[in-house]
Amino acid sequence: MNPIILIGGGGHCISCIDVIEKTGLYQIVGILDLPEKIGQKVLDYSIIGTDKEIERFTPECSDFLITVGQIKSAELREKIVNKVKAAGGKLPVIISSLSYVSKHAIIEEGTIVMHHALVNAGATIGKGCIINSKALIEHEASIGNYCHISTGAIINGQSNISDYCFIGSNTVVANNTNVTLNSIIAAGSQVLKNIEVSGTYIGHPLRKIR
């Protein structure tokens, strides 16, 4: 098993741990979080340092997963990815053994596909994304970099979700629909038309709240 270090010890980390353990491919060395949390545990794993000391760990462990969550901004996740790369670390793609990923799909570094997610043929997913439990990425849909497709969200065929988007739990994006970068779509929304202006959108019919 390859050693791996997780960065971010909150709720999303707990779900990621279960996905990683179930793959049987990685041994989790520990978690990096805030200085005041060092010594605390997340499930069976200790918080062993902060993201300021990634270089200290790379000689023994080159694989990292960003386990900080993402709703209103992807900034922190992207910042940490850049720190890992600057320190010579790598960001493997993690795929739950309980998910289905078509052999005709492309997924870039640092993305996690969680339990019971389905990524269908011709789909492309950028780097640093979270494809959360039970999400569906349909045929030929494309997801940009640093997107979080939340639990149970459905991205239908040939839709495009641009970089830095959050698609809330149980939201449906209709087929052939584009969502522009930096869009936040609330849980349970229905996106039936292109979103061309970045912002926060809610509900059905969809309305922009900011």
| Displacement of CA 86 from its chain's centroid (Å) | 20
Residue with Cβ nearer ligand COA (175 or 200): 200
Task: Provide, rounded to whole angstroms, the least separation between the CB of residue 19 and ligand COA.
Answer: 14
Residue with Cβ nearer ligand COA (132 or 145): 132
What residues make contact with ligand COA under the rule CB under 6 A? Answer: 71-72, 132, 150-151, 168-169, 184, 186-188, 200, 202-203, 209
Task: Provide, rounded to whole angstroms, the least separation between the CB of residue 201 and ligand COA.
Answer: 8
Residue with Cβ nearer ligand COA (14 or 71): 71
Residue with Cβ nearer ligand COA (143 or 202): 202
Contact 134, 151 (CB under 8 A): yes
Strands laid side by side in the 118-119 sheet: 100-101, 118-119, 136-137, 154-155, 172-173, 190-191
Residue with Cβ nearer ligand COA (102 or 169): 169
Tokens encoding 77: 């996740």
Using the structure block, give the residue that is written with the tokens 């949390």: 37
Contact 55, 81 (CB under 8 A): no
Task: Provide, rounded to whole angstroms, the least separation between the CB of residue 159 and ligand COA.
Answer: 18
Task: Provide, rounded to whole angstroms, the least separation between the CB of residue 91 and ligand COA.
Answer: 20
Pairing of strands 148-149, 130-131: parallel
Contact 156, 135 (CB under 8 A): no
Task: Provide, rounded to whole angstroms, the least separation between the CB of residue 205 and ligand COA.
Answer: 11
Determine the 3-state secondary structure of 93 from DSSP: coil
- Count CB neighbours of 88 within 10 A: 11
Task: Provide, rounded to whole angstroms, the least separation between the CB of residue 186 and ligand COA.
Answer: 3
Residue with Cβ nearer ligand COA (48 or 98): 98
- Count CB neighbours of 182 within 10 A: 17
Which residues sit opposite 191 in a β-bridge? Answer: 173
Distance CA 166, CA 69 (A): 11
